[in-house]
Structure 1
Amino acid sequence: MNNNNSKLKIIKSEMFSRFPELKFGISTRHYAGAVPPFYFNLSYNVGDKSENVRKHRTTFFRELGIEEDRVSFQRQTHSVLSHNVTEPKFFEDSDALYTNTKNTFLAISIADCIPVFLYEPSKKITTGIHSGWKGTLNKITTVTVEKLKNEFSVNPGNIFAFIGPGISSEHFEVGKDVYDLFENDVKEIRSGKYFIDLKLNNYKQLIKLGVKPENIEVSEYCTFKNEKLFHSYRRDRDNSGRMIGVIGLI
């Protein structure tokens, strides 16, 4: 976790730090001066004041050294839809973005769902994926990598991946109807309650695709558990803000 600015905490990837051409970071809830209930929120869609969101986004992107008008955003709909970004824009119905264009950055909104970020250094392709339980069940990570293979002839063995902060299996309780939809190796029953491991599911998708285990970094952070650091919709409901994860090439 980067904390060069004592007021602002940003989650970094040790894996991605190997690549000087890559800019990457995930915001957190923590920021001195950010006020409850939304704290350091980067979404305009949660009831927070627009002026707060504008100020927070400016602070976040400035800290990363990114111009906000070079960032693509999306309205995440728990689909498996992905888009090739050739220039910064807003995508109305999308849960994954990818690009091989320099100085074009991809934003993923986060508040419990699993963010998956990919980098293929030989072809200079960056990818950001939003994978909630529906996206995970429908294998959005697999679907997106298959698109990279088809459109850019990507070899999954060359992909580096960061599975970011999200809700852990310890806290992601679901109903039996949802539990029954998932494979046995990514779910468990504890004290008569049903739990799903979304991070493990996405990790297994990457492995099955051919991504090397040593090229996958999985964040240990649970957004639900780490209240001081992360927004969590499941924990805070209508008072939950959103983090943003962003990736791109300079």
Structure 2
Amino acid sequence: MIQYSNDKRMLEYGLMKSYPGIFCFSTTRHGGYSTGKYASFNCNSYCGDTQENVLANRQLLCDLLPGTEKELIIPHQVHRTEVRIIDHEFLDRPEAERTSLLEGVDALVTDVSGKCICISTADCVPVMCFDVKHRVVAAIHAGWRGTVARIVTRTLEIMSCTYGTQGKDVIACIGPSISLEAFEVGDEVYDCFKQSGFDMEHIAFRSDKWHIDLWEANRSQLLDFGVLPSNIEISGICTWKENSDFFSARRLGIASGRILSGIMLESV
């Protein structure tokens, strides 16, 4: 069961909290330093907010995270399917190289404790995964383009090849994002999903325009990999409807803040 932190700065996931040494969250709009359409807890530096406010919000977030060692790893997303593994080889690189390697990346995977891998959303779907057997975590940005391209499947396959991850050992959370009722799309988007092989009778309906269920489209990828239905938690929070608590680009415009969803293995 999802719940807010006491200060309402974070949404935490009950399914993940039942496992020791793991922390998983999505930020809200509350309790930060940013103003206007970025008010107030925006940690994304690519959406037009001032660098001063972004850095202050990131430091605040780090202070809220558990453990003795903690670092935010945040990629520059481009709605594609590039997955980056955050291992010791990556972490030992100079800062400029690390920044370059995070360019154009939409999913992160790590087994290194204290490294909070994060993705940014504002209607797109954040998916966080935890392989309880091999203690590997993933943070995935699944906008509609990434969903069509099956970025969740790709990330899980990379976890399997690299660490031996199997679906039966994966816990997954789908965070605040746009709902089926609010995600209205044109025929061209519907056709992309259909051509990609999604069960359109299961994930779409037509009113004046098509509506697509991104939560279910990503949940189906988890299930196809072998993740148990009981091991998937969906927040059920629609960012378009709940835009006073969570950023929504459709409601606020592109020049607005972003939710930061992260997952980390706690350091001791």
**TM-score, length-normalised on structure 2?**
0.87
Does 1:247 pair with 2:249?
no
3-state secondary structure, aligned to 2:27? strand
CA offset digits 1:187-216 (Å, max 9, x no partner): 1101x2111111110001111111000000
| Unaligned residue ranges in structure 2 (runs of 5+) | 92-97
What is the letter of the counterpart of residue 103 of structure 1? Answer: G
Return closer, same or farther for 1:44/1:34 CA change in 2, 3 Å cut-off: closer
3-state secondary structure, aligned to 1:74? coil
Match of 1:214 in 2: 230
How far is the alpha carbon of 1:4 from its aligned partner?
Answer: 2.3
Partners of 1:109 and 1:244 within 8 A in 2: yes
Match of 2:189 in 1: 178
Partners of 1:141 and 1:206 within 8 A in 2: yes
1:125-144 superposed matches below 5 A: 125-144=136-155
How far is the alpha carbon of 1:106 from its aligned partner?
Answer: 0.3
Does 1:116 pair with 2:132?
no
Structure 1 window deviating more from structure 2 (36-45 vs 115-124): it is: 36-45
Q: How many residues align?
A: 247
Match of 2:77 in 1: 76
Partners of 2:62 and 2:71 within 8 A in 1: no
3-state secondary structure, aligned to 2:78? coil
Match of 2:244 in 1: 228
| Unaligned residue ranges in structure 1 (runs of 5+) | none
1:134-213 superposed matches below 5 A: 134-182=145-193, 183=198, 184=200, 185-190=202-207, 192-213=208-229
CA offset digits 1:211-234 (Å, max 9, x no partner): 000000011101111021010111
RMSD of equivalent CA atoms:
1.7
What is the letter of the counterpart of residue 203 of structure 2? Answer: V
C-alpha distance in 2 between matches for 1:69 and 1:206? 28
C-alpha distance in 1 between matches for 2:214 and 2:49? 28
Return closer, same or farther for 1:69/1:160 CA change in 2, 3 Å cut-off: closer
C-alpha distance in 1 between matches for 2:177 and 2:237? 7
Match of 1:48 in 2: 49
What is the letter of the counterpart of residue 84 of structure 2? Answer: H
C-alpha distance in 1 between matches for 2:71 and 2:32? 26
What is the letter of the counterpart of residue 264 of structure 2? Answer: G
Return closer, same or farther for 1:123/1:32 CA change in 2, 3 Å cut-off: closer
How far is the alpha carbon of 1:243 from its aligned partner?
Answer: 1.4
**TM-score, length-normalised on structure 1?**
0.93
What is the letter of the counterpart of residue 6 of structure 2? Answer: N
How far is the alpha carbon of 1:63 from its aligned partner?
Answer: 1.4
Does 1:35 pair with 2:38?
no
Partners of 2:13 and 2:24 within 8 A in 1: yes
3-state secondary structure, aligned to 2:158? helix
3-state secondary structure, aligned to 2:14? coil
